[in-house]
């Protein structure tokens, strides 16, 4: 019998339901708080797979999860999602580049690497006609994301970033503000299969569509177009357990703007009545059997 392990750093609906589903189905599974893990280079020669045969990485912290995944892979563990996927999905700049390189429809994105060049981006764009969205390259739940509809706001954001002591504060990521309905689409993709899809609507006082910010989830039909775009995006970053987020551009159709490495599925589960946790556990067991 396969032994599964779920790494986390915050127990949310998703981690609890995954663990409870595994136990209910008679699968040996344990929860490990990644904040408390201690690893040793001596483990590299011990062949000690104490955590289990296959690991599901659910750490919210990008850097903690990424470094831990690399270590676990070096120790011989199979980790879902692997470190390559984590590296791409956790970095919005890399995600945009990889999607475009693999011909996945995605919004136009512009990058710069210091204060002056960021100002040049603001000065060169006709923001009143073609507004942008500023995004930090690392982060989730829409934190630090701002619409830039005029040069004054754009320059204020750049100045604010200049005061930020973070190593990444001089990396500027702008993306076109897509002309879309007040919603986006989240697809839950396991391997090369879309198992659930929902609309995420903005709340009345919020332009971002995150369910964590009060957005509403609604089940949608998985069309062949939707599935094709979602699977193409999943293949571009590396298949695993992924959340593919896309928008309905009025001129260009479906555009993928983000791929989630530790996807939240509480909203999708409640809106679709699909037992996504069970499907993920089954996917993990199938990976082990292969």
Average pLDDT estimate for 211-224: 81
User: Can you give the pLDDT at residue 205?
Assistant: 62
Distance between CA atoms of residues 200 and 183, nearest Å: 5
pLDDT of 63 > 60? The answer is yes
User: Can you give the pLDDT at residue 207?
Assistant: 55
CB atoms within 10 A of CB 31: 15
Residues 20, 289, 237, 268, Cα dihedral to 10°? -30
Distance between CA atoms of residues 166 and 136, nearest Å: 11
- Which pLDDT band, with edges at 50, 70 and 90, does 210 fall under? low
Q: What are the pLDDT digits (tens) for 105-122?
A: 999 999 999 989 999 999
Half-sphere CA count of 61, side-chain side, radius 13 A: 13
Distance between CA atoms of residues 10 and 140, nearest Å: 14
Helix, strand, coil percent content, the chain, rounded in steps of 5: 40, 25, 35
How many DSSP H helices and E strands does the chain contain?
9, 13
Average pLDDT estimate for 118-144: 90
Q: What are the pLDDT digits (tens) for 226-269?
A: 999 999 999 999 999 999 999 999 989 999 999 999 999 999 99
All domains of the chain in start order, with CATH: 3-88 (3.40.50.20), 109-176 (3.30.1490.20), 179-275 (3.30.470.20)
Kind plus residue range of the DSSP H or E element containing 119? helix 115-124
pLDDT of 71 > 90? The answer is yes
Question: 3-state class of 114 per DSSP?
Answer: coil
What length is written for the chain? 290
């Amino acid at each position: 019998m396969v032994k599964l392990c779920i790494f986390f750093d915050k127990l949310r609906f998703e981690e609890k339901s995954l663990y409870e589903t595994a136990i209910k189905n008679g699968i040996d599974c344990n929860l490990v708080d990644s904040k408390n893990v201690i690893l040793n280079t001596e483990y590299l020669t011990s062949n000690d797979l104490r955590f289990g045969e296959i690991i599901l990485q659910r750490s919210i912290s990008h850097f903690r999860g990424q470094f831990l995944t690399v270590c676990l892979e070096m120790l011989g563990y199979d980790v879902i999602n692997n470190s390559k996927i984590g590296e791409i999905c956790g970095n919005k700049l890399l995600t945009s580049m990889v999607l475009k390189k693999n011909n996945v429809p995605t919004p136009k994105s512009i990058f710069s690497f210091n204060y002056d060049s960021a100002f040049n981006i603001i000065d060169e764009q006709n923001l009143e006609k073609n507004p942008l969205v500023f995004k930090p390259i690392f982060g989730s739940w829409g934190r630090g994301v701002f619409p830039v509809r005029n040069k004054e706001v754009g320059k204020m954001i750049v100045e604010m970033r200049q005061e930020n002591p973070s190593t990444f504060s001089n990396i500027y990521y702008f993306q076109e503000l897509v002309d879309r309905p007040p919603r986006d689409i989240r697809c839950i993709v396991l391997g090369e299969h879309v198992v659930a899809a929902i609309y995420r609507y903005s709340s009345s006082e919020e332009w971002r569509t995150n369910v964590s910010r009060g957005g509403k989830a609604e089940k949608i039909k998985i069309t062949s177009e939707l599935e094709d775009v979602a699977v193409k995006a999943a293949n571009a970053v590396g298949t695993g357990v992924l959340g593919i987020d896309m928008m309905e551009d009025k001129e260009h159709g479906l555009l993928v703007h983000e791929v989630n490495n530790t996807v939240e599925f509480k909203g999708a589960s409640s809106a679709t009545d699909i037992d996504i946790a069970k499907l993920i556990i089954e996917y993990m067991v199938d990976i082990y059997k292969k």
